Amino acid sequence: MRLNVANQEKSPYKIIAVDDEIGIIDSLKVYLSNYSITGVTDPAEAIERVKNEHFDLMLLDYIMTPFHGDQVVEEIRKFDKDLYILLLTGHKDLAPPLETIKKLDIQGYCEKSDKFDQLLLLIESGLKSVEQVNMIKKINSELSESNELLEKSYLESIEVLRKTVEVKDVYTKGHSDRVAEYALLIGEKLNLSEADMKTLKIGALFHDIGKIGIPDAILLKDSKLTDDEYSEIKNHPTIGAHILSNATIFADIIPIVKHHHERFDGRGYPGRLAGNDIPFFARIVAIADTFDAMTSRRSYRNALDFEYTKNEIDSCKGTQFDPEIADVFLDILNTEQYKILEIQNKF
């Protein structure tokens, strides 16, 4: 049965037909005249056309010279995973094995015939699938753009709060930036993924965000804190976690913010977590945070020197700090001290 295509609206989809018999190509062009169709008789040329042009669907003969259709698909799948491919066979017994069809992600095959009814239905079905995939991609792209804008907005808002904390006290200016840089040095040594490095950096930048909720009289006090005042200071990890809990994009960094004052021996706060129960990134930030606190000038003391801080970190392995992470940071301090100095000079 032939379709009457004279009054049909031209389809926006592009089809490439590949068959080493020019007669088959000519017939397909007649039956698919309402589509934008390109006919190719050389398999190698077809691969290049797909590489350099956009097509929505491919009709591909299986038995061809100089190589068969499955080899064409194998090459195409190296650079195009999305092209919808219908394989044409002279006889069902000549079709490739089912496992080959699955492996190469061939969406279907059809026996050649003088009648194109089945092929036309498969093409229509295939293009509907392509349309759905394109729609999903568009929606995902729009959601991604929206999420990126939302994330940027939240990050900017929290950044304002972070800077507000540091502006209050000249002695903590640049603290979170340095902590983030030290944490990233550790992360690099631990071969963390790009995604994990991003989480670690943001978590370190915002680790003290909860200090926005600590009274200035306590936060800026230049003498020893009373027990009550120290208890108030110890609330800042929980306050910070609460602030960030209002935005789901911060879910991954909340454990860092909440638990960067836990101790490996379980004597820290707020959760008194111990060992590997402490979130991994929080254990990294704990060392970076302590190191910066020791090597920064305070109103009540000068910055401590490297040798002293190295000895302190070494002596606190297994009690305050995760021993493995502590060893990684000590190695950085011993072999790449120039990187530490660059960070300190930068912020």
State yes or no: pLDDT of 250 exceeds 80: yes
State yes or no: pLDDT of 1 exceeds 60: no
At residue 287, φ and ψ (nearest 5 deg) are -70, -45
| Nearest alpha carbon to residue 163 among 213, 221, 209, 216 | 209
State yes or no: pLDDT of 279 exceeds 60: yes
Least confident among 183-197, 233-247, 264-278: 233-247
Residue-by-residue DSSP string for 50-85 = HHHS--SEEEEESS-SSS-HHHHHHHHTTT-S--EE
* Strand 108-111 to 84-89 pairing: parallel
Choice between 108 and 188, residue whose per-residue pLDDT is larger: 188
What DSSP character marks residue 105? T
254, HSE (Cβ side, Cα atoms, 13 Å):
14
CATH 1.10.3210.10 in the chain: give the residue spans: 169-346
| Nearest alpha carbon to residue 279 among 248, 258, 265, 250 | 258
CATH 1.10.274.10 for domain 169-346, yes or no, is no
Summarised one tens digit per residue, pLDDT across range 219-243 is 777 778 888 888 888 999 998 898 8
Helical H segments across the chain, by residue range: 22-31, 43-52, 69-76, 98-103, 117-168, 175-189, 194-205, 216-219, 227-233, 236-244, 254-259, 280-295, 306-315, 323-335, 337-346
For the chain, give the mean pLDDT.
86
**What's residue 258's pLDDT?**
96
Provide the CA 104 distance to its chain's centre, in angstroms: 27
- Residue 40's SS3 state is strand
> Please, what sign has the CA dihedral across residues 259, 261, 267, 269?
negative
- The stretch 257-264 carries a mean pLDDT of 97
Summarised one tens digit per residue, pLDDT across range 301-327 is 788 988 999 999 999 999 999 999 999
159, HSE (Cβ side, Cα atoms, 13 Å):
9
- The stretch 70-86 carries a mean pLDDT of 89
Distance CA 238, CA 322 (A): 22
The residue from 92, 211, 224, 346 that is catalytic is 211
| Nearest alpha carbon to residue 161 among 198, 200, 206 | 206
State yes or no: pLDDT of 36 exceeds 70: yes
**What's residue 5's pLDDT?**
43
CATH 3.40.50.2300 in the chain: give the residue spans: 14-138
> Please, what sign has the CA dihedral across residues 324, 326, 330, 336?
positive
- The stretch 133-161 carries a mean pLDDT of 75
14 dihedral zone (left: phi>0; alpha: psi -120 to 50; beta): beta
Summarised one tens digit per residue, pLDDT across range 134-147 is 887 787 777 677 77
Distance CA 305, CA 216 (A): 29
Q: Give, in degrees to the nearest 5, the angle at Cα 118 between 3 and 11.
A: 50
- Residue 181's SS3 state is helix
CB 257 within 8 A of CB 206: yes
- Residue 184's SS3 state is helix
> Strand pairing partners for 15?
37, 57
Token couple for 262? 């836990």
CATH 3.40.630.90 for domain 14-138, yes or no, is no
**What's residue 244's pLDDT?**
85
Location of structure tokens 């989809």: 13
**What's residue 92's pLDDT?**
62
**What's residue 6's pLDDT?**
43
- Kindly give, in sequence order, each residue whose CB lies less than 8 Å from that of residue 66, ignoring residues fewer than 6 positions away: 43, 44
- Told to judge if 211 belongs to the known catalytic residues of this protein, a careful annotator would answer yes
